[in-house]
Amino acid sequence: MDLDATDRRILAALQKAGRMTNAELSERVNLSPSACHRRVQRLEAEGYIRDYVALLDERLMGRTTTVFVEITLSGQADEVLEAFEKGVKKIPDVLECHLMAGTADYLLKVVAQDTEDFARIHRQHLARLPGVAQMHSSFALRTVFRTTAIPV
């Protein structure tokens, strides 16, 4: 399906405030409530809208330290990659895991309470992942910009 300008306005608005009512959304995108509701249902059914979530405040949750971890595996065989990916999915502190092209095989985004907590995560989880040959961790000093919104 091709997205038209109204679909894009709906998606942009929902990315900023996913809990708004259909009436609020329809007013914001200049569409009748029934037409707006039908479009949102279609966007959900076709997979453009995957889910609705609550974004938590990391400070209030006590997770103020963000660490990016580059991981190089001992090999590139499918079994090694699959074992690593299965293991990393079980670590609750890992927010993102990306298979990379370049010097590292994977890039992880990890949240922790502080450096001591990250040392615990490293010791109890990351160091025990299958197939890991090398790890390099970089601590974010400050988050300058962050969004979950995909350009529409």
Residue 40 and residue 77 share a domain: no
Q: How many of the other CB atoms lie within 10 Å of CB of 67? A: 21
Residue 74 and residue 32 share a domain: no
Residue 79 and residue 133 share a domain: yes
Residue 149 lies inside a defined structural domain of this protein = no
Q: Please calculate the CA angle 36-12-45 and round it to the nearest 5 degrees.
A: 55
**Mean pLDDT within 14-27:** 97
- Which tokens belong to 87? 């293991």
Residue 133 and residue 74 share a domain: yes
- Report residue 70's pLDDT band, with 50, 70 and 90 as the boundaries: very high
pLDDT at 136: 98
What are the tens digits of pLDDT across the range 125-143? 999 999 999 999 999 999 9
- Domain of residue 134 covers 65-139
Q: What is the DSSP string of 58-70?
A: TTTTT--EEEEEE
As a whole number of angstroms, the distance between CA 25 and CA 40 comes to 10
Residue 135 and residue 86 share a domain: yes
Query: Cβ(22)–Cβ(40) under 8 Å?
Result: yes
**CATH classification at residue 21:** 1.10.10.10
Q: Please calculate the CA angle 50-54-60 and round it to the nearest 5 degrees.
A: 150
Residue 131 and residue 73 share a domain: yes
pLDDT at 57: 95
Query: Cβ(12)–Cβ(152) under 8 Å?
Result: yes
As a whole number of angstroms, the distance between CA 38 and CA 29 comes to 13
* Tally of structural domains, the chain: 2
Residue 122 and residue 83 share a domain: yes
Residue 129 and residue 70 share a domain: yes
DSSP 3-state of 63: coil
- Report residue 41's pLDDT band, with 50, 70 and 90 as the boundaries: very high
Q: Can you list the alpha helix ranges (DSSP code H) found in 17-126?
A: 22-28, 33-45, 78-88, 115-124
pLDDT at 110: 98
pLDDT at 46: 96
Mean model confidence pLDDT for the chain: 97
pTM across the whole model: 0.90
Query: Cβ(66)–Cβ(110) under 8 Å?
Result: yes
